[in-house]
Amino acid sequence: MDEPNSVNTIVQQAIDEYMRQDSARREPAYKAELQEEKRRREQMEKRINELVDENRRSRAQADEAQRSTAIRTELQKLGVTKVDLAYKVVQDGIVRSADGRLVAKNDNGELPVHEFLAEFVQQNPEFLPARIPGGTGMTSAHKAPSQGGSGGIDLDKIGPGMSKEDLERVRQEILRVTTQTLRGA
């Protein structure tokens, strides 16, 4: 009876020894595999975080572009000619509210962008086109005085042999025409 027991014991010991050796042999492979999985997971988490940050930045840029476009469009609708300059002046006062609308914060609280910009343009008419004097109601007193007109100058007579008086008259006429042109008259 002792013999079957000892055979069982020997078989059991052999199996235990095999399992220990097999575990010892497989354990480094498991550890390496776990390390590799951990490294991949960390890389994926890092990449996901980068994508989330990139998405956040893209959304912020898109929001800023939409905000800028809305403000500039509204300024154009109000007749502002110097849109970029007016935009730079008002941009810091206009923010997005909690419900997503563009509002302007001032001493009176929050105003819709249209009202704020209309008020701004009314207070700062220099951003509107200049009023051009003229038309049917313009009198001769408002017109630029002509100094003898172009009737006194003959273009064919302009040349190197001109008298000093004629040369000075030509210079004055050129100056008058240039000044009128630059003023938009």
Nearest to 81 by CA among 149, 131, 136, 30: 131
Q: Determine which helix (DSSP H) or strand (DSSP E) holds 75, and give its type and residue range.
A: helix 2-77
- Render pLDDT for 5-16 as a digit per residue (tens, 0 to 9): 788 898 899 899
Per-residue pLDDT at 137: 57
Query: 31 by DSSP, 3-state: which?
Result: helix
Q: Pick 11 or 131 by higher pLDDT.
A: 11
- Render pLDDT for 57-92 as a digit per residue (tens, 0 to 9): 999 999 999 999 999 999 999 988 889 999 999 888
The pLDDT-based confidence of 25 (bands split at 50, 70, 90) is confident
CB 78 within 8 A of CB 121: yes
CB 166 within 8 A of CB 173: no
Per-residue pLDDT at 178: 84
**Mean pLDDT, rounded, of the chain:** 82
Per-residue pLDDT at 171: 87
CB 176 within 8 A of CB 147: yes
Please say if the pLDDT value at position 97 is more than 50. Answer: yes
Percent of the chain with pLDDT over 70: 85
Q: Pick 26 or 38 by higher pLDDT.
A: 38
The pLDDT-based confidence of 3 (bands split at 50, 70, 90) is low
Sheet holding 109-112, edge to edge: 94-96, 102-106, 109-112
Per-residue pLDDT at 185: 52
